[in-house]
A and B are shown apart, each in its own frame.
Chain A
Amino acid sequence: MSGKDLRPSGPDIQPDGAEVRPNRQDTRPAMTPGVRLGTVSFVWRPWNVLITVLLAAAAFLVFCLSIGIGDFPIGLDQVLATLLGRGEQVDEFVIMDLRMPRALAGLVVGIALGVSGAITQSVARNPLASPDILGITGGASAVAVFLVTVSGGTAAAVVNAVGLSAAALAGGLGTGLLVYFLAWRRGIDGFRLILIGISVSAVMEAITTWLLATADIRDVARAQAWLVGSLDGRSWDEVRVAIWGTLVLLVVVGGVSFQFKPLHLGDDVAAGLGVRYTRVRAVLLLCAVLLAGVAVSAAGPVPFVALVAPQVAMRLVRCPTPPIVASGVVGALLLIGADLVARTALPIGLPVGVVTAAIGGPFLVYLLVRANLR
């Protein structure tokens, strides 16, 4: 067939072909040339799986370290023994009753935020999209600050009845759904979703700021603590809800994840490939909103994890689109790592939210700059 001989004349082939190709083969041994198509899906997967497993191992290590470190230090071997049910009674009490809820909360919140971010960025086809700008965090914050600062009978009654976290969760989900429905116009368009999300979030932030500016100073301090996002003082009950919620949502995401790849190519192409994209996207976005909601209810609005985790995962795994599993693992690693740093290296009482932004931001910048230098 005549189409087989590639246009040798192409002035466009030479500049790229001469530079990029040899370079690529040197620096990316894991990405063997894709021409060998019998292995297309296996060619890049070993790297993907290897990195994901390494990241998971790192997350587990930090998890164990985080459990061991504290006023009553426990060695890594003792932690492992206790986790396997063969530890001493004292260790078991400290670990299972005192420290485990906090560590597990970090793990679950990190996974939920990472996966939620990966979905949002995939659906919007935009790396700037994250649950933070879809109104979830903004709405939850506004509701929480309102309940903390407005000293009225009703507000106190609400907090007493359902708890601050649950009320904030409701606020976040409500705002997320509002954004979703406002953005709906014969389907969901990525840019429209982001613009409306930013607008609604801005309104919520304005409300939050106004409440803080007019409130009593003691209430402001309490509200501020909630606003930064923290893992302090988590109870088993709170953590159990977050774990189950996240697990159920992850199963749903796993079920529809197969339809993910064509979605990255745009609506028309996805439809041409037999994907009912409106429905798939609605399910995925709903999962993302709920995952972010679970995270907010468990740890407050921890900033930046959902935005940065998928981007970091993409670059580590060398995947052109946000990888779901790796994003969750990176999110967990980032969150419990940040919590560990916050507790050990920094003055006591600094909430995890401060550190996630401080670690995650520079690391993403580093990955981007490194890609530039190549």
Chain B
Amino acid sequence: MGAQHTVTEVAAAVDATRLAADGVSVGYGARTVIEDLDVAIPSGVVTTIIGPNGCGKSTLLRTLSRLLKPTRGTVVLDGDDIGRLRTRDVAKKLGLLPQAPVAPEGLTVADLVARGRHPHQSWLRQWSSDDAAVVERALAMTGVSDLGDRPVDSLSGGQRQRVWISMTLAQGTDLLLLDEPTTYLDLAHAIDVLDLVDDLHESGCTVVMVLHDLNLATRYSDNLVVMKEGSILAQGHPRDVITAELLHEAFGLRAMVIDDPVGDRPLIVPIGRAHVQLP
């Protein structure tokens, strides 16, 4: 009986992978960016895709979110081939925030976030009290309730990104894909946005994101996917994955990996040519 229980638990854990890529190759025109890649996104944790510029991080995220159609292989969402699902059904399960989105000038925060309800609306039912409640919750969760009547373009970069994340939340999915949510943000605002991402994770969301900053990725993710030249070099918890050797292999970066003085994860100290005093 006990053994059986364990088997069920393992099965549940495997089932818990809601989003996975199965042997996908993706490219733009004749250029192949990703070749025969497998990845499973564990549920309920923050997964971050890292890698050098042009390694296919964003391409992978865009493929997982169905923005790009793989030339070979499939992306599986909740057991279905994502390419065979209706766009609208995908949007009900998976929230996506593309890189550096732009809102029309003058569009208010409340209006923008309300548009996140689109997958749940129809020509006849364009707005309901359900929608209102969800949007209100999304605004509150991202701490932008007070900004409801402000035009999005009048906000600071950090506030704006919170608003966009709020819109993605209003979609009502517990699977969020964020493409470089900290682009163009200063460090304080980047931390602010990533704290928000952690809040979302705490409230039960599965998050997949692309980040450039390795230390932020290490601090805020439970699962790192390290990419190089269109394939996955390593995957796992930052403590298991981040080593000086890996950083050199993936990025060609000389670095020292030390214990984070304020956290329980590694901290990457890059070693360049200048201003370095090695012992």
Q: For the complex, what is the distance from the CA of A21 to the CA of B155, rounded to whole Å?
A: 12
Residues of B within 8 A of A1 (CB): 141, 199, 203
Cβ B135 vs Cβ A35 within 8 A: no
Cβ B135 vs Cβ A33 within 8 A: no
For A12, give its contact among B92, B145, B156 (CB under 8 Å).
Answer: B156
Cβ A2 vs Cβ B146 within 8 A: no
For A274, give its contact among B92, B98, B109, B203 (CB under 8 Å).
Answer: B92
Cβ A274 vs Cβ B115 within 8 A: no
Would you call B184 an interface residue if the criterion is a C-beta within 8 Å of the partner chain's C-beta atoms? no
Minimum CB–CB distance from B66 to chain A (whole Å) comes to 7
B 81-97 binary contact with A (CB < 8 Å = 1; else 0): 00000111111101111
**Interface 9-residue window, one of B44-52, B116-124, B221-229, B252-260:** B116-124
Which residues of A1-24 have CB atoms within 8 Å of chain B's CB atoms?
Answer: 1-7, 10, 12-13, 16, 20-21, 24
User: What is the count of residue pairs linking A and B with beta-carbon distances less than 8 angstroms?
Assistant: 150
Residue among A4, A44, A255, A276 with max Cβ neighbours from chain B (10 Å): A4
Cβ B104 vs Cβ A320 within 8 A: yes
Cβ B110 vs Cβ A40 within 8 A: yes
Residues of B within 8 A of A6 (CB): 143-144, 146
Would you call A72 an interface residue if the criterion is a C-beta within 8 Å of the partner chain's C-beta atoms? no
A122's nearest neighbour on chain B, judged by CB, is B104
Residues of A within 8 A of B101 (CB): 265-266, 268-269
Cβ B159 vs Cβ A12 within 8 A: yes
Q: For the complex, what is the distance from the CA of A33 to the CA of B159, rounded to whole Å?
A: 18
B 34-57 binary contact with A (CB < 8 Å = 1; else 0): 000000000000000000000000
**Interface 9-residue window, one of B6-14, B125-133, B210-218, B270-278:** B125-133
Minimum CB–CB distance from B116 to chain A (whole Å) comes to 7
Minimum CB–CB distance from B136 to chain A (whole Å) comes to 4
Cβ B199 vs Cβ A3 within 8 A: yes
A269's nearest neighbour on chain B, judged by CB, is B101
Minimum CB–CB distance from B67 to chain A (whole Å) comes to 6
B 61-73 binary contact with A (CB < 8 Å = 1; else 0): 0000111000000
Cβ B118 vs Cβ A262 within 8 A: yes
Interface size of B in residues (CB-CB distance below 8 Å):
68
Knowing A1-B141, A34-B109, say if A274 contacts B146 (CB, 8 Å): no
A 27-55 binary contact with B (CB < 8 Å = 1; else 0): 00001111111111100100000000000
Cβ B142 vs Cβ A3 within 8 A: yes
Would you call B171 an interface residue if the criterion is a C-beta within 8 Å of the partner chain's C-beta atoms? yes
B112's nearest neighbour on chain A, judged by CB, is A265
Would you call B105 an interface residue if the criterion is a C-beta within 8 Å of the partner chain's C-beta atoms? yes
Would you call B230 an interface residue if the criterion is a C-beta within 8 Å of the partner chain's C-beta atoms? no
Would you call A364 an interface residue if the criterion is a C-beta within 8 Å of the partner chain's C-beta atoms? no
Cβ B156 vs Cβ A34 within 8 A: no
Cβ A272 vs Cβ B91 within 8 A: yes
Knowing A34-B108, A274-B92, say if A41 contacts B149 (CB, 8 Å): no
Cβ B98 vs Cβ A269 within 8 A: yes
Residues of A within 8 A of B90 (CB): 274
Knowing A7-B192, A320-B105, say if A261 contacts B150 (CB, 8 Å): no
Please give 18 more A-B residue pairs, beta carbons under 8 A apart, in addition to A37-B135, A274-B89.
Answer: A10-B159, A13-B159, A21-B149, A24-B149, A34-B111, A35-B145, A35-B146, A37-B114, A39-B132, A41-B127, A265-B112, A269-B97, A269-B98, A269-B101, A272-B96, A272-B98, A273-B118, A321-B104
- Give residues in B with beta carbon < 8 Å to A: 65-67, 86-92, 94-99, 101-112, 114-116, 118-119, 121-123, 126-127, 129, 132-133, 135-136, 139-146, 148-151, 154-159, 168, 171, 192, 195-196, 199, 203
Q: Can you show 28 pairs from A to B with CB atoms below 8 A apart?
A: A1-B203, A7-B158, A7-B192, A12-B155, A16-B155, A21-B150, A32-B149, A34-B108, A34-B111, A35-B110, A35-B149, A37-B110, A40-B132, A41-B126, A41-B127, A261-B115, A262-B115, A265-B104, A266-B98, A268-B101, A269-B96, A269-B98, A272-B94, A272-B96, A273-B171, A274-B90, A320-B107, A321-B104
